[in-house]
Amino acid sequence: MSSSLEKNMLILRSSDGEEFIVPEVVAVMSKAIKNMVEDECASNTIPVPNVDANILAMVIEFCKKHDESEAEAASDLKTFDSEFVNRGQEALYDLITAANFRDVKELLDALCQNVAEMIKGKSVHHIRIQFLGYQLFEILTSNFIWNIWCDRDFD
């Protein structure tokens, strides 16, 4: 780690103004930031809009781990990944959006694979609610109406 501290550091500023000091090697795991660095339009502080401090900290944690353990055993990384992606839906979605926006491939892969594993056995209704913005009450009511229709007296 001492060698990486000596390397160039970058400052990332999240949407709510918090700043993170990150080694360049870690920051450039995001393709978007890498392009900025290569084009030399990143002077010292790189704004990361749309990503708040909480999520940015998680992304940085992931990138750091992956940078450190590049040469290490892959199984360690796997357990770290599986623990990392084990979060609530809200955080997961925010992370996916951030990873997609900043173009962090490994993170996006791990997250999306996790979501896919979660939903692969779900019902069609579940998918509609989860991704297409159908509301839960719609489905409940559609069943409810159907039940009333079936139960009603025809007179």
Partner 1 sequence: MDVKQSKDMKNIRTNTDVDEEEEGEEELSSSSYLPLDLVFSEIFTRLPVKSLFRFKLVSKSMLYLTRNDPSFFNLHLSRSKTRLAATTLLISVFCGGKWREILSAELDGGGRRRRGRVTRLFTMPKVDHTHYRTLSYDVNGLLCLSSDPLFNICPKFKVLNFHLYNYSAIAYDFPGIAYRVFTLGGSSWRTIHPSFPFEEICDWFIKSGRSVCLNGAIHWFVKAKNAIVAFDLKDENFFVIPAPNCVVMPESKSESESESQSESESEAVLVQVNGVLAVIHYKRDGSNKTMEMWVLEDYQRHAWINHVITIDLSSNNYKYFSPIGSIPTGEILLVPFTSWALAWGVRIPVIYYDMKNKSCRIIEFAQLPQCVPWGYIDVRGMTTYSESLIFPTMDDQ
Q: Which residues bind partner 1 (CB under 8 A)?
A: 89-90, 93-94, 96-97, 100, 108, 112-113, 115-116, 119-121, 123-124, 127-128, 131-135, 137-138, 141-142, 144-145, 148
The least distance separating partner 1 from the CB of residue 18, rounded to whole angstroms, comes to 19
CB of 45 to partner 1, least distance (A): 26
Find the shortest distance in angstroms from Cβ 39 to partner 1: 25
Tokens 């400052």: give the residue. 11
- Antiparallel, parallel or unpaired: β 45-47 and 9-13: parallel
Nearer to partner 1, 38 or 109 (CB): 109
Query: Which residues, in sequence order, are bridge partners of residue 10?
Result: 22
Cβ distance to partner 1 smaller for residue 21 or 119: 119
C-alpha dist (Å) from residue 57 to 3, 53, 61, 151? 22, 6, 6, 55
* Least Å from the CB of residue 27 to partner 1: 22
CA atoms within 13 A on the CB side of 25: 13
SS3 for 21?
strand
